[in-house]
Amino acid sequence: MAEHLLEVSGLSVDFHTAAGVVHAVRGVSFHVDRGETLAILGESGSGKSVSASAIMNLIDMPPGHIAGGSIRFDGRDLLRLTDDQRRQINGRRIAMIFQDPLSHLNPVYSVGWQIVETMTAHGVARDHARAEALRLVTRVGIPDPAGALRKYPHQFSGGQRQRLMIAMALAMKPDLLIADEPTTALDVTVQAEVLALLEELQAETGMAVLIITHDLGVVAEIADRVVVMNAGEVVETGETDAVYRNPSHPYTRKLIGAAPGKGEMHAPLSPTAPVLSVRDVVKSYGEFRALDGVGFDLMAGETLAVVGESGSGKSTLARMLLRLDEPDSGVAMWKGRNLFTLPPAELFALRRDLQMVFQDPTQSLNPRMTVFQLISEAWVIHPDILPRARWRERVAELLAQVGLRPEHAARYPHQFSGGQRQRIAIARALAMEPQLIVCDEAVSALDVSVQAQVIELLDRLRREMGIAFVFIAHDLPVVRDFADHVMVMRKGRVVEHGSVRQVFEAPREPYTRALLAAGLDPDPEVQARRREARLAAAL
């Protein structure tokens, strides 16, 4: 049997934590051959990143500890090499790029210096390295390459920073590139570009790519084979297409089933008088126009999805509606009153009607309050909602309503998982008995399988209690199964606004079409067709 380029076998990694020893990776085996792309797919806590860190000798020990196994690279067991020998492999034979390029680039050195350093660290002469850096930066498509080399990381956009990271990683023409969630923080259109760049470069250099991701779409787009990990173990391995068509492990089936954008779309509601009417909202921060004449209508029990990339103004809009920020002009009529001009006393009364669920439940729940305190705070602030004698009973009811148990009321937020925390945040919003809930990226920080559950919960609340939702998201497929209407935003303006079916099946605007096309489908066949179409269009 031919030797694999990289062969991980029986790898186990432990971490010492406050809660005891955690077996982050347990007996994991996989291999990567020259020139191929292997994806490790898994949700948070699956151990996928830890496995990659072990290959690069990046695990901090302590608290980490490699408990067993071997990592053979090009015939040698990396775990038996000295630190200095591994240093010489890092960057030269195996390179790595990371999820968040802003924090992974050194903020106080120019990007040119950092790219050159990759080469000088492995003995390349400085002059030669400089010329090579210029070539690399040109190759990854940074405008004004010579000027770019003198700039610092914070002067680039997120997508450009990831391109620069790629340039840096490829400086020594490595045999293997490890990419740890390389496109997760990027907008969909930028994500598509970066992935395309990676594919091109792989074709040029013949390197192998090990990509770590939580996103089935990324796997479908780029991977030849996939390793599915869950709770520190490999549950399934195979050709990407075969795994998608015939998943053998229940976990893989669950993951594929949870991928958004596959269900039945909502039929439009019969129109009634809107509860919320927003017109001509404008907000500037200095020179920057965050919102430029935005408006929409919302009926009771309706869900409006507001979709856009970073800088589109969608989150600013949410902050305006809840008066966390004041607009420059515009009106928002709620039950005949303009939200934007309400005096404090009336605004206070109105808080009961309008509630918000934030993106990251880890941050939106005060870590020093119990679940009971978090939920009952609504009634401390608005004592007329509920007499104190009924608090305990009502908290139990609300917890049951969001799928938690009454005895959880005494716990603190950090004792729950991400999805459970978001349920607590939803219960807190429900405690106010609101008629409208604004969800600001409420599911984007959650794992795919949890995302589906939370959306299901929100949809049930809408049906059962007639709550209207403004659902803000950067990702189109997420809102497909849930929204009645979709509003696409770009640079502070509304690009397109229509029923969910119209926006997804017959988008009118080129930008909406571009957004839809850039989104990655979990089905490898669909992705392959789109890739061909893209290449054809490029020619």
Partner 1 sequence: MPLSATDTIPQEPGALRRLARMLWADKFALAAALFVLLVVVLAVVGPMWLEGAATRQNLRGRNLPPFSLAQGWLGVLGADALGRPLLARIIVATRNTITIAAGAVLFSAVIGTMLGLVAGYMGRAAGQVILRLADVIMSFPSLLLAVIVLYILGPSVANLIVVLAITRIPVYLRTTRAEVMEVRERMFVQAARVMGASRWRIIFRHILPVVLPTLLTVATLDFAFVMLAESALSFLGIGIQPPEITWGLMVAQGRQYLQTAWWLSVWPGLAIILTTLSLNLLSGWLRIALDPTQRWRLEMKGRRNG
Partner 2 sequence: MFGFIRQRAIASLISLLGLVVLVFFLSRLTGDPAALFLPIDATDEMRRQFREIHGLNDPLAVQFWHYLGDLARLDFGDSLRRARPAIEIVLEAFAWTFQLAVITMAIVTAAAIAVGALAAFRVGGLFDRIASVTSLVGASAPDFWIAILGIVLFSVTLGWLPTSGTGTPLHWILPIGVLFIRPFGLIVQVVRGSMITALSSAYVKTARAKGVRSGPIIFVHALRNAMLPVITVIGDQAAALLNGAVVVETIFGFPGIGKLMIDSILQRDFNVMLAAIMVTALAIFLMNLLIDLAYALLDPRIRH
Residues that bind partner 1 (CB under 8 A): 16-20, 62-63, 254, 322, 324, 347-348, 351-352, 354-356, 358-360, 363-368, 377-378, 380-382, 403-405, 408, 411-412, 414-417, 419-420, 423, 425, 428, 432, 449-450, 452-453
Relative to beta strand 337-338, strand 354-357 is: unpaired
Q: Give the separation between CA 229 and CA 532, rounded to whole angstroms.
A: 30
Provide the b/e sequence for 479-516 (b: ≥16 CB within 10 Å).
bbbbbbbbbbbbbbebbbbbbbeebbeebeeebbeebb
Return the one option of partner 2, partner 1, none that residue 365 interacts with (CB less than 5 to 8 A, by type): partner 1
Smallest distance from partner 2 to CB 126, Å: 14
Q: Is 20 exposed, middle or buried (0-12, 13-18, 19+ CB in 10 A)?
A: exposed
152 contacts partner 2 (rule: CB under 8 A): yes
Smallest gap from residue 381 Cβ to partner 1 (A): 5
Extract the tokens encoding 26.
């347990």
Q: Which is nearer to partner 2, 109 or 285 (CB)?
A: 109
- Least separation in angstroms between CB 2 and partner 1: 42
The residue type of 271 is: P
Measured from the CB atom, the residue of 28 and 168 that comes closer to partner 2 is: 168
CA distance 98 to 104: 7
Nearer to partner 2, 119 or 489 (CB): 119
| Under rule CB under 8 A, residue 57 binds partner 2 | yes
* Residues 291/494, Cβ–Cβ less than 8 Å: no
51 binds partner 2 (CB under 8 A): no
- The answer to whether residue 277 forms part of the interface with partner 2 (CB under 8 A) is no
Residues 285-344, interacting with partner 2 (CB under 8 A): none
Report the site for partner 2 in 87-106 (rule: CB under 8 A): 87-92, 95-96, 98, 100, 103-106
- Say if residues 153 and 104 touch (Cβ distance below 8 Å): no
Residue 235 interacts with partner 2 (CB under 8 A): yes or no: no
- What's the min distance (Å) between Cβ of 69 and partner 2? 21
Query: In the bound complex, what is the minimum distance in angstroms from residue 224's beta carbon to partner 1?
Result: 30
103 touches, from partner 2, partner 1, none (C-beta below 5 to 8 Å by class): partner 2
Paired residues of 281 in beta bridges: 294
Q: How far is the CB of 347 from partner 2 (least distance, A)?
A: 36
User: Which token pair is 472?
Assistant: 């803000």
Tell me the C-alpha to C-alpha distance, in Å, between residue 101 and each of 157, 162, 184, 398.
Answer: 10, 6, 11, 41
453 binds, among partner 2, partner 1, none (CB under 5 to 8 A by kind): partner 1
- Can you say whether residue 130 is alpha, beta or left, with left for phi > 0 and alpha for psi between -120 and 50 degrees? alpha
119 to each of 126, 132, 382, 501, how far by Cα in Å?
A: 8, 9, 63, 52
253 Cβ contact partners less than 8 Å away, ≥ 6 residues apart = 247
Give residue for tokens 């980490």: 64
Residue 99 beta carbon to partner 2: minimum distance, rounded to whole angstroms: 9
Structure token digits, residue 525: 């066949």
- Asked whether position 56 contacts partner 2 by CB under 8 A, the answer is yes
Only one of the segments 21-29, 118-126, 207-215, 227-235 lies at the binding site for partner 2 (rule: CB under 8 A); that segment is: 118-126
Closer to partner 1 by CB, 328 or 377: give it: 377
- Site membership for partner 2, residue 60 (CB under 8 A): yes
Residues that bind partner 2 (CB under 8 A): 56-58, 60, 87-92, 95-96, 98, 100, 103-110, 117-118, 121-122, 152, 154-155, 165, 168
